[in-house]
Amino acid sequence: MFDIETELKKLPDKSGVYIMRDKFDNIIYVGKAISLKRRVKQYFRKNNKTKRIENMVATVDHFEYIVTDNEAEALILECNLIKENRPKFNVLLKDDKTYPYIKIDVKSDYPAVIVTRKILNDGAKYFGPYANPGAAREMINFIKERFKIRQCKNFRSKDRACLNYHIGKCLAPCMGYVSKEDYRKQIDQIIMLLEGKTSVILKEIEKEMKEASQNMDFEKAAELRDRKLAIERVNEKQKVSNISENNIDVIGVFKNELSVCVEIFFVRGSKMIDREHYFFNDLKDMDISEIISGFIKQYYIDRPDLPNRIMIQEEIEDKGIIEEWLGNRAGRKVELKTPQKGEKQRFVEMAVRNAEITLENKSKDKFDILNELKEVLGLDVLPRKIETFDISNISGSYLVAGMCVAEDGIIKRNLSRRFKIKTVMGQDDPKCMEEVVTRRIKHSLENPKGGFRKTS
């Protein structure tokens, strides 16, 4: 039998990762520590703990730990364990969507430019993520139209050029109509475009345009002119910020009594090119600095395009070790900055304001929907918890019912249930619905804690 007090005395005064488990041996929390002995003991001592930590400690049945050589190793191990096990009391990115990236296989003689949602360690360059998939497709279409790169999935030599070549949308490297060097120039300009270095591209295009004009190649000069104008239009579409940084992410966090919103701005080439936001419903009693620290470790563990700087609104406890970890991954220095004045501080404040507005709009939308539902159904109170049922069968056999649950307008996947229909034979949806709803109500009356529990 695991005795917590006895095991606490055995903890080493070394850096490492501690793993909290419940009575079913599920991992419920993972943390790192410079001193396992001091850190883990804090959880089981009477001090000012948040409600979240109190709930976590009350659930702990036993714990284990892994000693590491240093805090940097502990951080990496912590991130990997959280990603793999998704403990309920850690800061988790619950949004399972995979955002698109633009991929260029720079190792190829004639690289293609494609949209992908999978990031591989294959030496290719990845640009993104694009929170709006339409923006990624729009950029790909622009690149294909203006740079005339190959569009075939698999490159190989052919007996004749494809239709794209004949309509002026491909340089036909498959036929040897363009050299590797000239094709690479196209790819280099595309990379600069995706990195936000439009001024450098425009200078190069102007130089090529003048050379083509001097050589009496007016058709090429006109084509380069059109490309220059198109890039300038794309550049104008991007929101210009006054910030004098070339490659940064700006993180703003706002929380209310129900939820937390994390907003990220992506600044490339001194312009904000995109944004993302994430919602967390169970972190309202955590400090902003804790949320930022946990989010950074979750968010950047798999990102291939790390920024030079990450600007945040509050200092975090493990800033130094996170900078070391990100720097090792990027192969260069990555800084965490908390600006106190000037344009950088205003940009962080803008991220925080946007997080606040996004969170308020989300809460307002849910309230409006629930309030409208209350009026339509003639209810006295808001329907904060809703259970819906659906019947499914295959030609009258294999009858089952599915239950989906929403609380305060949020789908709760962990509360979904499936029921086998027991008393109905053949295809009769009303009878099946009567059975499953009757069983559900009966169960809730007999087991109040496992039935229609009250919404906190």
User: Domain limits of the chain?
Assistant: 4-85, 101-238, 247-363, 385-450
Identify which of 161, 157, 136 has the alpha carbon closest to the alpha carbon of residue 148: 161
**Nearest alpha carbon to residue 69 among 11, 19, 15, 10:** 15
What is the secondary structure of 139-186 as a DSSP string? HHHHHHHHH-----SS----SS--HHHHTTS---GGGT-S-HHHHHHH
Check whether 239 has a pLDDT greater than 90.
no
- pLDDT band of residue 251 (cuts 50, 70, 90) is very high
Mean pLDDT of the chain: 84
**How far are the Cα atoms of 159, 181, 187, 385 from residue 176, in angstroms, in the given order?**
11, 12, 17, 65
The CATH superfamily label for domain 4-85 reads: GIY-YIG endonuclease (3.40.1440.10)
Question: What are the tokens at 24?
Answer: 């079913």
C-alpha pair distances (Å), 186 with each of 92, 158, 174, 325, 339 = 40, 22, 16, 34, 38
The amino acid at residue 161 is: A
User: Which pLDDT does position 241 carry in this prediction?
Assistant: 46
- Region at 79 (left for phi over 0; alpha for psi -120 to 50; beta for the rest): alpha
| The residue type at 261 | C
pLDDT attached to residue 352: 93
Q: Which amino acid is at 84?
A: E
Which pLDDT value is given to residue 131? Answer: 62
Q: Provide φ and ψ at 273, rounded to 5°.
A: -100, -15
3 state DSSP class of 243: coil
Contact 47, 92 (CB under 8 A): no
> Do residues 39 and 83 touch, judged by C-beta distance below 8 A?
no
pLDDT band for position 303 (cuts 50, 70, 90): confident
Residue 98 has pLDDT above 70, yes or no: no
Tokens at 270, concatenated:
């001194």
Residue among 16, 35, 21 at smallest CA distance from 78:
16
More confident residue, 363 or 454: 363
- Give the CB-side neighbour count of residue 378, counting CA atoms within 13 A: 0
Give the mean pLDDT of 202-228: 85
Spatial contact of 359 and 258, defined as CB atoms under 8 Å apart = no
In the structure, what pLDDT confidence band is assigned to residue 19 with cuts at 50, 70 and 90? very high
Question: Which is it for strands 335-337 and 309-311: parallel, antiparallel or unpaired?
Answer: parallel
The answer to whether residue 456 scores a pLDDT higher than 50 is: no
Proportion of the chain above pLDDT 70, given as a percent = 90
275-300 pLDDT, tens digit each: 788 888 777 778 899 999 999 998 98
Sheet containing 62-67: order of strands = 27-33, 16-21, 62-67
- Of the listed ranges 233-247, 251-265, 392-406, the least confidently predicted one is 233-247
Q: E strands of 100-149, at which residues?
A: 101-104, 113-116, 125-127
Structure tokens at 388: 């819906």
pLDDT score for 13: 92
Structure confidence at residue 97 as a pLDDT band (50, 70, 90) = low
Phi–psi pair at 70, nearest 5 degrees: -155, 175
Dihedral angle over CA of 315, 320, 323, 329, nearest 10: -150
Q: How confident is the model at residue 202 (pLDDT cuts 50, 70, 90)?
A: confident
**Beta bridge partner(s), residue 239:** 272
Q: Does residue 245 have a pLDDT over 60? A: no
Which pLDDT value is given to residue 53?
Answer: 85
Rounded Cα–Cα distance for residues 110 and 101 (Å): 19
Crossing angle of helices 288-299/71-85, nearest 10°?
80
Rounded Cα–Cα distance for residues 266 and 156 (Å): 37
pLDDT, mean of residues 291-319:
89
Domain range 247-363, its CATH number among 3.10.310.10, 3.30.420.10, 3.20.20.100, 3.40.50.920: 3.30.420.10
The two tokens of residue 418 are 């499936």
Residue 433 has pLDDT above 70, yes or no: yes
CA 20 – CA 285 distance, rounded (Å): 20
